[in-house]
Each structure stands twice: as C-alpha cells, then as structure tokens.
Amino acid sequence: MRLHTGKLQKGKYTLALAIALVGAVTGAPAAQAVPGFASADDCPVAALEQPFLPWHDADRYALVPNGDLENDASGWSLEGARVVAGNEPFYVHGADDSRSLSIPSGASATSDMMCVGVEERTLRLFVRSSDPSPASKLKVEVVFEDSKGTERSQRLGAIQANTSTSWTPHVPMAIGISSHPRLDGKTPARFRFTAQGSANWQIDDVYVDPRYH
C-alpha cells in the first residue's frame, strides 16, 4: 500500500452515523435465506485496510467486492458504465492497480452483493468528474431486499461535481437501511452509483467501514 501525507483534518468530517438495521420483533418469522448467502456465516469478509490514513482517517475499511475494479467488471452490473484504464493516483489498495470505473452522464453501476449490518456504518470511495457544473451529481444508493423479499433502494447521498474534478477521497457516507435483517442481523446489499447532469464520472477503490472503533 502506498501512503501519502494528507492535510485534511478528520474532525472536519461530521458523520451522520444513524444506522438503523431493525431486528425482528418477538414472534416474527426467522430470517429467510437470500440467494447466494445461506446464512450470515457465508457473507464474504474482506481484509481490513487503512486506505484513508493519509487523510487523517485511521478507521479500518473493507473493500467492496471487486471495489478496486482490478478484476474487470466482475460482480458489477453496468448500465452504460465500463471499466477503463487508469487508477486513482494514490494507489491506496495496491501499487500495481491500474483500473477504475467510468460512469458517463446518465449511466449507472451497481456493485456486487455484500452483507451490511449495524457494524457496517459508512461507505467511502475515490471519485472525480469531468465537469465542474454544480448541477452534475453522482447519486449513491444502497439496494437491498427487505424481509419479504421485495427489492428496495435507499439514497445515501449525492456527490457534487464541483468538488470532485480531480481524484479525491469523498467524505464517508452513512449507510442506513430500515428493514428487517435477512441473515442473523445482516442485510445483503449492493451499492448503486448513477451519474446525473452533464458530468462524466470515474470511481475507484470503494470501501465500507466494517465496525465501530
């Protein structure tokens, strides 16, 4: 991992850590299995890293499945987006990384599934946009199935283009899913990124903070 000295103060990040994964009430049916995960024990567990340490964020993060895009588009669902040559310039996940994800205006990309619970509190990634227009945004959502098996999406926020024309680590975004967990307190979820407005976007090294510290 290549580390660089940053000047941003962690204290500037005011996180809304109101994460509510509501447990099943007394007498409710047991959590149902979700395709791909028979139980919470089957949920993939990524190695913990400190990719944002150069920006005075010492929290440990887990990479979203293929969140570095080094396995091409494996696991991602792309609608107009594509994997391209060129990594974020800090190489926080690996010095040999060489790819990122291009999301043109109007396109979207949805990550592979991972399990999210009360310990998975924030999402953080590297972004840049082609156009500084304040009307251009990258919408970020979490997509999941509720306890009845109905797919739902919840908006985590929107990244403003006028703050991201150069590669930058975006501030953490709180993950909040108000649903009954499906697997022993966990909810299988994906993260969707949609380019809105005139800007084309690139994202790379998508991470989730996997526990309280």
Residue 67 lies inside a defined structural domain of this protein: yes
Which pLDDT score, from 0 to 100, does residue 55 have? 97
**22 lies in a domain?**
no
Structural domain boundaries, residue 64: 49-209
What pLDDT score was predicted for residue 211?
Answer: 64
Our count of domains for the chain comes to: 1
Residue 12 maps to a domain: no
Residue range 185-194, pLDDT digits in tens: 888 899 999 9
Q: Are 156 and 111 in contact (CB under 8 A)?
A: no
- Asked if residue 98 belongs to a domain, the reply is yes
- Residues of the chain falling short of pLDDT 50: 1-34, 212-213
CATH number of the domain enclosing 78: 2.60.120.260
* 37 found inside a domain: no
Evaluate whether residue 82 is within a structural domain. yes
42 assigned to some structural domain: no
**CA 43 vs CA 101, 167, 194: distances in Å:** 24, 31, 26
Which amino acid is residue 141, in one-letter code? E
Domain assignment present for 85: yes
Residue indicated by tokens 């994202």: 203
pTM score, whole prediction: 0.81
**Residue 10 pLDDT:** 37
